[in-house]
Amino acid sequence: MASLALSFSTTTSTTTTTRPSQPKPSHNFCTHATRHHRFNVSCKTTNSSGQNQKDNQNSEISQPKLERRNLLLGIGGLYGATSNFLVSDATPTALATPITSPDLSKCATGTNLNTQQPLDVNCCPPTSTQIIDYKLPPVNKMRFRPAAHLAGKEYFAKFEKAIALMKALPPDDPRNFMQQANVHCAYCNLTYQQTGDPKLKLQIHNCWHFYPWHRWYLYFYERILGKLIDDPTFGLPFWNWDNPDGMVMPQEFVRKESPLFNGRRNQQHLPPAVTDLAYSAQSPTNPKKIIPNNLTIMYSEMVRNGSKLEDFYGAKYVTGTKPDPGPGSVERGSHTAMHGWVGEATPSGEDMGNFYSTGRDPLFYSHHANVDRLWTIWRGLRESKPKDFPDSDWLNADFLFYDENAQLVRVKVVDTLDNEKMGYIYQDVDLPWLKNRPIARVKKSKVAASSGAQPAETVFPVKLDKVVKVLVNRPKKSRSKKDKEKEEELLVIEGIEVDTATFVKFDVFVNDEDDKPDEFDKAEYAGCYSQVPHKNSMTVKTTIRLGLTELMEDLDAEDDEKILVSLVPKAGGEVITIGGIKIIYAS
């Protein structure tokens, strides 16, 4: 294995090896109607100033960071005087700085931010005084991530051995299975301070750091497993739940004698149950509709609601922003549904169904490997469109992980933009959802004019304890093709106020004539909002944006001045408050 340029060793292997003979998954082959497309992933990794990162080839133990975050911590009075501005619900613009790695020594179990009761969980990692700024090592051997349902017995024997060895590591070893689970808990359960204000916590979900942080998390997890079995090509399997062939929980994770087994899963969802990407325990889906619903949901998340960077990645999150400014399309949809579907059938949803415990289930890593794979696919679909935020506040955000040598390292978002530069590829599988653009149930519907619904501005704020239907004005109609290419029409649902301790979900439909819409394989389905519950709860206000440009075309309603929007609660509606709805146009 090539040693890390920043690791304890100062030498690297010069042995050259070839990549696996499988087709590059970054050149996925897709069918849409009768046309065939190949999409290429190509990124140049540079820092925010555009300089090639080879300027810092020599890796050293970092000196204490006197950066903007530390400066904020040291200017006491100034920070205190501006704290009200920094933690406003709006994304801060002035004084914005990238999210920076937390001080591990200040990790605390703390108290529940809503109830003020002590938490009964400690997910603080081991501390270290030596932090290395991580540099991606040369890729001498590519790691190969297979689809779990295609991997075979030999592969899973190797995977099970690696997990068993990880579980057998000393409890205080940061590479130990539970310590690795705690990494997710610490970053996602409001454990770390984000700034000098102890009430302002760090959270990498429901914002633009969701994909990069989890990519780094899987990266080091995978390298630890590979080192334990002395296999530099070992790659995690991905649970291919976006394809009907992979929508059943992989059988290898269900055998009780396997180290991949976890007893805290919903027993009703073991094989041969088909995964439900619209899952809500309170509103079960008709089994006959699950697969067509799943394919439409994936199309909606990856294509219709992923046109703009913010809508796929999530909202901007910088120093001073409150947690959960706004999740991206996959995160709030299929990603969350799978957490809830797998998790124990209890209010807390453990293990997979709760942020603090989800890393305790080996299936979590295969689930997120598929989420990571979808990020690579989405980037390939972009063709000439922007694939990344140009903001230094995104590119230069940094996090802390322990590598395969138990060395604490600091990593940056900018180094995650190309999975091949990180040394791994995915098995190439079909993307059936890509050719599954939904058809309208009713075209040229007059339901907006005849519904008798109230204008949105007269209804909100409102508690979502029942179906809410409102009329929303369209500032622009009958737009030309050029107009649509320039600006995406978006439905914005804002001021979504929820308690993070609760699994909540609501679906959104446009011009739907059903009194109780419960099917998603139709163009009237606009998207959803849902959240995985936290152990540490707080009340947040968040926002989602749903694409309307293609939807209005499919409904043949581009000339309409108003649309009927239906908000349909599926879980926890009694604790959801909606602040408002509007239509905007984003370039």
- Which of 149, 184, 367, 534 does the annotation list as catalytic? 184
Cα angle 52, 226, 12; round to 5: 45
- Which of 144, 156, 205, 234 does the annotation list as catalytic? 205
| Tokens describing residue 506 | 């609501």
Residue ranges of the binding site: 184, 205, 214, 335, 339, 368
Q: What CA–CA distance (Å, rounded) separates 315 from 133?
A: 27
Residue ranges of the binding site for Cu cation: 184, 205, 214, 335, 339, 368
3-state secondary structure of 405: coil
Please tell me the number of Cα atoms within 13 Å of 493 on its side-chain side.
27
- Which of 209, 269, 368, 534 does the annotation list as catalytic? 368
> What's the length of the chain?
587
Q: What CA–CA distance (Å, rounded) separates 587 from 581?
A: 19
In angstroms, the Cα distances linking 499 to 203, 305, 416 are 15, 25, 31
Known catalytic residue at 27 = no
Inter-residue contact 336 to 280 (CB < 8 Å): no
- Which of 144, 355, 399, 520 does the annotation list as catalytic? 355
- Which of 335, 401, 506, 534 does the annotation list as catalytic? 335
First to last CA, the chain: 46
Q: Positive or negative, the Cα torsion across 315, 197, 49, 4? A: negative
3-state secondary structure of 402: strand
Q: Positive or negative, the Cα torsion across 194, 198, 200, 206? A: positive
Q: Return all residues near 230 (Cβ < 8 A) that are at least 6 apart.
A: 1
Known catalytic residue at 335 = yes
Q: Tell me the one-letter amino acid at 49.
A: S
- Which of 269, 339, 367, 534 does the annotation list as catalytic? 339
3-state secondary structure of 251: helix
3-state secondary structure of 190: coil
14-44 core/surface letters (b: 16 or more CB in 10 A; e: else): eeeeeeeeeeebbebebeeeeeeeebebeee
Q: What value does the CA radius of gyration of the chain take, rounded to a whole number of Å?
A: 23
Q: What CA–CA distance (Å, rounded) separates 187 from 124?
A: 10
Q: Tell me the one-letter amino acid at 542.
A: T
Instruction: Strands of 313-445 (E only): list them.
Output: 398-402, 408-412, 424-426
Q: What CA–CA distance (Å, rounded) separates 197 from 83?
A: 8
Residues paired with 583 in a beta bridge: 491
Question: Could you identify the residue written with the tokens 């999150």?
Answer: 317
Q: How far is CA 41 from the centre of its chain?
A: 19
492-512 core/surface letters (b: 16 or more CB in 10 A; e: else): bbbebbbbbbbbbbbbbbbbb
| Tokens describing residue 397 | 């955000």
Known catalytic residue at 37 = no
- Which of 149, 209, 214, 269 does the annotation list as catalytic? 214
Catalytic residue numbers?
184, 205, 214, 335, 339, 355, 368
